[in-house]
């Protein structure tokens, strides 16, 4: 180690944003679970008290993470990954069920959610595998292995059931793209999603006509010397049309009614305003209440501890998945924008940090951290403000919960530790 | 490139979120949404509705307390159901059913168990109520009617529906609002303003405490009492005379436009639409599609005016210089339209204006009508002038009164005849439209318009917009539209000869046997042909009996129109009823007891049954 302390090398901007986010997060939890009869902030019987404890535990974890050797994480990445898989498997035998999902170990003083730990472990394992000198991501076999690293924990989490958390792992595909997976995979996925959504909104006929028109347009405008071949484009269009046809089948026969309702609500598929309103108030109850609560905050908000809707517990999962509503109601547009900007700056800063890494491992892990934080942030806030269908995953650094608080903290600070070491390790 | 992909996604997400948040929190935000906040419950304090008095300060509508037995299902303790039911006066099955329904609605919120107990039941119950936990008595205010008349004038109140709430955000579910009549038109004055207290609730709907320490709470404002222009005694008397007869009567004070009485037959007792039997009674009235008791014939019944309209034609002819009072027309027990002869009941002979009116000579008025048309180079010009004069008497319009409902009637125009007969000056003429001369043609009027027209004649050329509101909170109203006279297009001096003719109707004309001692009346009878479609065949029914009158002739205090369906000739029913009403209003008592007795007892139900009997029937029978 050089004479310079880690405190001088670490990225203080990220830490500052992190501290700002957990502070705002805790204040929101305090406000939404506030009870005038017991205003103490250190009462560990209350949710905000427990969360304060988790924050303290996270700070301890940060010290430990920063104290360890930087190459410790690369060296033991595989071990962490295997341990987390074992923990996920163990849930099938020893798991504790809360709200219908068997996702926790009961450790007495606290319930451990291994899927939160698995996120960091998988990011480490993926970075390690991709940075291996023998891995060539342009080869199909290695692409498959990389995907398997992501898929295995996800497949173990789906039957808990916790499809929301499982979805998060797919964000790690972003890392593989950064490392050379051809972009047209992303293009195909994007077009598939586009066809899926437009088919639900406009119907198969219109989507097919549009696709054929686009193909024709392409053929007309194509330069003679263009190297793009016609046959794959043609095949692609046919597959897209077939896919569009299958969408209705899948939607009507494979999806369950609650899924269909979520989509009807999200895409406003229901034309009858009265029916739509009734779906909003039943299936979309959570989102309806959270939108209304955020709306009622206005520009300046109702003020600290003044949120009537959040205080009355009208928004379910107020302190966990829907914690952002509390910010919206009490701190208004100013508060919500501040949080969105803080997340944006943090993520952009992390991209900057990742790109300046000297080692492949550190860069890839950095991308893993960004992907996981980004997908949580997009899905959670997107759901709370009614832009995305309901998928229950926590908002990083905000939502109540010890495992997720520790998991996200570990993710961020392992990366900051790697970053602080970037000049020492050499190439 | 790949480096920027992720950064761009992050920035785009940020912009999207802030865009959506500004839509929610800046554009959709409205500061008064405290009312739709589920966490805040508004508790309302309803003021008493304003009383309604008649023009002389007699009470028409007041309030009475009613008592609802309420239940909060969760708080109900085991009880002696049988004894409690006996106390409430309901059956055990019904009690259990209602209680279950209340439990399904909400175990925590109060529901009504028994609606509107009588005062006696309440007194009996109040003593023992404390033995039954979970039940309590809530006081409500209901309308109380100090008359069994004027249902059509007063209107009724009922609970607001979703449409009312959408239209006026003041109202909340369960609140009462005026539905028709005065209750509807002057709703804002009578209602007052409810007070509100905001309570913070949790999601189990339990009170946590006052919201913002009561900073937004308001006190109720009392409803304001009003006086309407109706004369209670006249209205009640008119409705008694209307017994068993269908039609409408409107009486107006010519010097102010105030409506003294507005009678529609058949009618109903306003008390029927209050209390426990309200909805049963309402259905019965509403679904009576033959006699239609809820249809206000005094203001919504559009029919040909008949002979009273001849007075207007006389005035127009004088105004346009088509005739002078001494212009003569000969009646050959009828008159000729082309080669066909139309009948006249006046007895024949040479008629001038005076005898034309009092004998109601058809030949005279058809002659005068043709003369009006001869004053103009074209038929359409003549028609336009004629229409303008007619409309200046308030016919063919809603009149701008403050009555809740009404119909505009109709006045024919050049446009109408062009549509019927084709454009071009020779397609139609005075001869084609001669029915207008005797009030049988395309002119349609309501009793209110007819009364207003009579008031304009009584005033010699102007009228005040008929209205029903007299005082608010004891102070006379001064609405400009009601206190400024509306001029007709006829010069004042043309009225005298016409009024003389109308006075002679009583002295020596069609109504000479119904004079009232000491009161000089000017009037005009009308006998209007009456058709109805029976099994899609146009069938003639017994004529409608019409009468308009004002009195005294020199300083008119009352002008009225009486329209009795199937009453046969004008003097027979309408004339008698009109004279009794005038005597009642001007003298306060009736000297002609025989006539009064006959009018009170006679009904026309046999006439109204005819078209529905399914058998052949005679019309215009002289059954007395």
Which domains does chain B show, CATH number per domain?
Answer: 34-58+146-228 (3.90.1310.10), 66-73+85-142 (no CATH), 232-612 (3.40.710.10)
* Model confidence band, residue A387 (pLDDT cutoffs 50, 70, 90): confident
Would you call A340 and B9 a contact, using CB atoms and an 8 Å cutoff?
Answer: no
- Window from A288-297, B89-98, B367-376 with minimum mean pLDDT: A288-297
Rounded alpha-carbon distances, angstroms, from residue B340 to B240, B277, B335, B337, B432: 44, 59, 8, 5, 13
| Cβ–Cβ below 8 Å for B17 and A381 | yes
Name the residue with higher pLDDT: A143 or A86.
A86
Residue B605 has pLDDT above 80, yes or no: yes
Question: Measured between CB atoms, which of A178, A311, A314 is closest to B2?
Answer: A178
Q: Give the chain A residue nearest B205 (alpha carbons).
A: A312
**B162 in contact with A at a CB cutoff of 8 Å?**
no
Backbone φ and ψ for B570, nearest 5 degrees, come out as -55, -45
**What's the mean pLDDT when you consider all of chain A?**
84
Of the candidates B6, B18, B24, which has its C-beta nearest A340's C-beta?
A: B18
Q: Which residues of A248-277 are buried (b: 16+ CB within 10 A; e: fewer)?
A: eeebeeeeeeeeebbbbbbeeebeeeeebe
Mean pLDDT of chain B: 87
- Burial (0-12, 13-18, 19+ Cβ within 10 Å), B78: exposed
Report the predicted TM-score, pTM, of the whole model to 2 decimal places.
0.62
ipTM: 0.88
> By percentage, how much of chain A surpasses pLDDT 90?
33
Of A178, A295, A351, which is closest to B24 when you measure between CB atoms? A295
B22 touches chain A (CB under 8 A): yes
- Round to whole Å and give the CA distance between A402 and A415: 20
Q: Whose CA is closest to B105, among B77, B72, B68, B139?
A: B72
Query: What are the backbone angles phi and psi of residue A84, rounded to the nearest 5°?
Result: -65, -35
Q: Count interface pairs A-B at CB distance under 8 A.
A: 104
Q: Which residue in A has a C-alpha nearest to residue B208's C-alpha?
A: A312
How many CA atoms lie within 13 Å of B364's alpha carbon, on the beta-carbon side? 28
The pLDDT score that the predictor gives to residue A133 is 82
Helix segments in B178-256, DSSP class H = 181-185, 187-191, 232-241
**pLDDT tens-place string over residues B325-381:** 999 999 988 888 878 888 888 888 899 999 999 999 999 999 999 999 999 999 999
**How does pLDDT run across A46-98, given as a tens digit for each residue?**
888 889 999 999 999 999 999 998 889 889 999 999 999 999 999 988 888 88
- Is the pLDDT reported for residue B39 higher than 70? no
Closest to B404 (Cα-Cα) out of B502, B298, B484: B298
Highest mean pLDDT among A308-312, B177-181, B207-211, B607-611: B177-181
> In chain A, which residues have their Cβ closer than 8 Å to the Cβ of B10?
344, 347-348, 351, 374
pLDDT at A2 exceeding the cut of 50: no
Residue B478 pLDDT level (bands cut at 50, 70, 90): confident
> Does the CB of B3 have a partner CB in chain A at under 8 Å?
yes
| Residue A88 distance to chain B (closest CA, Å) | 30
Residue B277: pLDDT over 50: yes
pLDDT given for residue B36 in this prediction: 58
**What is residue A18's predicted lDDT score, i.e. its pLDDT?**
96
Distance CA B527, CA B621 (A): 14
Give a three-class secondary structure readout of A336-377.
HHHHHHHHHHHHHHHHHHHHCCCCHHHHHHHHHHHHHHHHHH
| Chain A residues closer than 8 Å to B29 by CB | 295-299
Question: Of A279-288, B417-426, B489-498, B610-619, which has the strongest mean pLDDT?
Answer: B489-498
Residue A38 has pLDDT above 70, yes or no: no
Interface test with B, best of A185, A280, A312, A379 (most B CBs within 10 A): A312
- Beta strands B329-331 and B349-351 are antiparallel
């Amino acid at each position: 180690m050089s004479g310079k302390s880690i405190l001088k090398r670490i990225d203080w901007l990220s830490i500052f944003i992190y501290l700002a986010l957990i502070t705002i997060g805790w204040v929101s939890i305090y406000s939404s679970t506030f009870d005038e009869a017991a205003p103490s902030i250190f009462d560990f019987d209350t949710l905000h008290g427990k969360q304060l404890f988790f924050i303290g535990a996270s700070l301890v974890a940060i010290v430990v993470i920063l104290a360890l050797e930087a190459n410790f994480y690369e060296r033991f990445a595989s071990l962490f990954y295997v341990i987390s898989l074992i923990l996920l498997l163990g849930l099938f035998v020893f798991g504790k069920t809360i709200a219908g999902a068997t996702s926790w170990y009961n450790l007495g003083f606290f319930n451990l959610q291994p899927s939160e730990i698995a996120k960091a472990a998988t990011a480490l394992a993926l970075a390690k595998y991709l940075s291996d000198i023998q891995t060539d991501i342009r080869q199909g076999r290695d692409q498959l292995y990389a995907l398997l690293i992501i898929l295995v924990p996800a497949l173990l989490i789906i039957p808990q059931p916790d499809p929301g958390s499982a979805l998060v792992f797919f964000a790690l595909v972003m890392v593989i793209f950064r490392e050379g997976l051809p972009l047209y995979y992303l293009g195909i996925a994007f077009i598939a999603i586009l066809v899926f959504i437009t088919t639900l909104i406009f119907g198969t006929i219109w989507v097919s006509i549009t696709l054929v028109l686009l193909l024709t347009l392409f053929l007309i405008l194509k330069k003679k010397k263009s190297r793009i071949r016609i046959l794959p484009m043609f095949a692609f269009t046919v597959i897209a049309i077939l896919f569009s046809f299958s969408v209705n089948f899948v939607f009507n026969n494979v999806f369950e009614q609650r899924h269909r309702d979520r989509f009807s609500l999200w895409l406003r598929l229901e034309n009858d305003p009265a029916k739509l309103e009734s779906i909003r108030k039943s299936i979309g109850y959570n989102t309806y209440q959270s939108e209304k609560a955020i709306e009622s905050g206005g520009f300046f908000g109702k003020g600290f501890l003044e949120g009537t809707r959040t205080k009355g517990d009208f928004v379910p999962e107020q302190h966990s998945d829907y914690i952002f509503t509390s910010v919206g109601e009490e701190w208004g547009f100013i508060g919500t924008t501040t949080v969105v900007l803080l997340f944006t700056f943090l993520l952009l800063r992390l991209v900057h940090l990742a790109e300046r890494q000297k080692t492949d491992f550190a860069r890839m892990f950095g991308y893993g951290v960004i992907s996981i934080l980004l997908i949580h942030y997009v899905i959670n806030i997107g759901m709370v403000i009614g832009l995305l269908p309901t998928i229950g995953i926590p908002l990083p650094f905000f939502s109540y919960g010890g495992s997720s608080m520790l998991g996200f903290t570990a993710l961020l600070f392992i990366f900051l530790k790697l970053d602080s070491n970037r000049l020492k390790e050499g190439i | 490139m790949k480096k920027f992909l992720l950064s761009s996604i992050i920035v785009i997400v940020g912009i999207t979120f802030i865009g959506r948040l500004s839509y929610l929190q800046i554009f959709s935000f409205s500061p008064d949404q405290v009312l739709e906040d589920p966490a805040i419950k508004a508790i309302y304090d309803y003021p008493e509705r304003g009383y309604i008095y008649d023009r002389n300060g007699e009470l028409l509508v007041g309030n009475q307390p009613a008592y609802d037995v309420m239940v909060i299902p969760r708080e109900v303790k085991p009880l002696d159901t049988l004894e409690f039911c006996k106390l409430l006066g309901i059956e055990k099955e019904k009690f259990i059913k209602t209680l279950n329904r209340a439990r399904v609605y909400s175990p925590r919120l109060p529901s009504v168990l028994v609606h509107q107990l009588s005062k006696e039941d309440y007194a009996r119950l109040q003593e023992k109520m404390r033995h039954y936990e979970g039940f309590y008595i809530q006081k409500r205010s209901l309308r109380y009617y100090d008359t069994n008349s004027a249902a059509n004038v007063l209107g009724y109140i009922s609970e607001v529906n979703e449409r009312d709430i959408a239209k006026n955000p003041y109202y909340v579910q369960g609140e009462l609002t005026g539905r028709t009549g005065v209750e509807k038109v002057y709703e804002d004055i009578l209602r007052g303003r409810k007070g509100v207290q905001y309570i913070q609730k949790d999601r189990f709907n339990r009170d946590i405490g006052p919201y913002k320490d009561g900073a937004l709470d308001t006190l109720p404002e009392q409803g304001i009492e009003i006086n309407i222009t109706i004369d209670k005694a006249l209205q009640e008397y008119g409705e008694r005379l209307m017994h068993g007869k269908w039609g409408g009567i409107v009486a107006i004070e010519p010097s102010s436009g105030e409506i003294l009485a507005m009678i529609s037959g058949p009618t109903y007792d306003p008390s029927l639409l209050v209390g426990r039997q309200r909805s049963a009674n309402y259905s019965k009235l509403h679904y009576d599609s033959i006699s239609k008791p809820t249809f206000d014939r005094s203001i919504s019944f559009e029919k040909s005016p008949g002979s009273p309209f001849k007075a207007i034609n006389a005035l127009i002819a004088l105004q346009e210089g088509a005739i002078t009072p001494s212009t003569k027309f000969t009646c050959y027990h009828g008159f000729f339209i082309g080669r066909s002869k139309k009948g006249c009941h006046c007895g024949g002979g040479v008629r001038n204006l005076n005898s034309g009116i009092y004998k109601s000579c058809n030949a005279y008025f058809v002659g005068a009508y043709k003369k009006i048309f001869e004053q103009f180079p074209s038929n359409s010009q003549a028609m336009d002038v004629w229409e303008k004069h007619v409309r200046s008497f308030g016919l063919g319009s809603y009149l701008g009164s403050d009555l809740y409902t009404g119909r505009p009637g109709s006045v024919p125009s050049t446009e109408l005849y062009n549509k019927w007969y084709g454009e071009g000056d020779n397609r139609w003429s005075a001869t084609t439209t001669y029915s207008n001369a005797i009030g049988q043609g395309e002119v349609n009027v309501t009793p209110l318009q007819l009364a207003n027209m009579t008031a304009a004649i009584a005033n010699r050329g102007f009228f005040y917009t008929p209205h029903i509101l007299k005082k608010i909170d004891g102070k006379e109203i001064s609405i400009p539209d009601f206190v400024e006279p509306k001029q007709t297009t006829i010069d004042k001096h043309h009225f005298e000869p016409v009024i003389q003719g109308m006075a002679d109707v009583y002295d020596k004309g069609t109504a000479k046997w119904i004079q009232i001692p000491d009161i000089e009346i000017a009037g005009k009878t009308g006998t209007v042909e009456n058709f109805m479609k029976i099994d899609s065949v146009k069938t003639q029914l017994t004529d409608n009996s019409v009468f308009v009158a004002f009195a005294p002739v020199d300083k008119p205090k009352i002008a009225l129109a009486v329209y009795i369906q199937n009453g046969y000739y004008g003097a027979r029913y309408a004339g008698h009823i009109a004279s009794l009403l005038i005597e009642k209003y001007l003298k306060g008592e009736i000297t002609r007891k025989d006539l009064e007795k006959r009018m009170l007892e006679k009904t026309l139900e046999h006439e109204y049954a005819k078209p529905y009997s399914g058998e052949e029937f005679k019309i215009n029978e002289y059954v007395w």
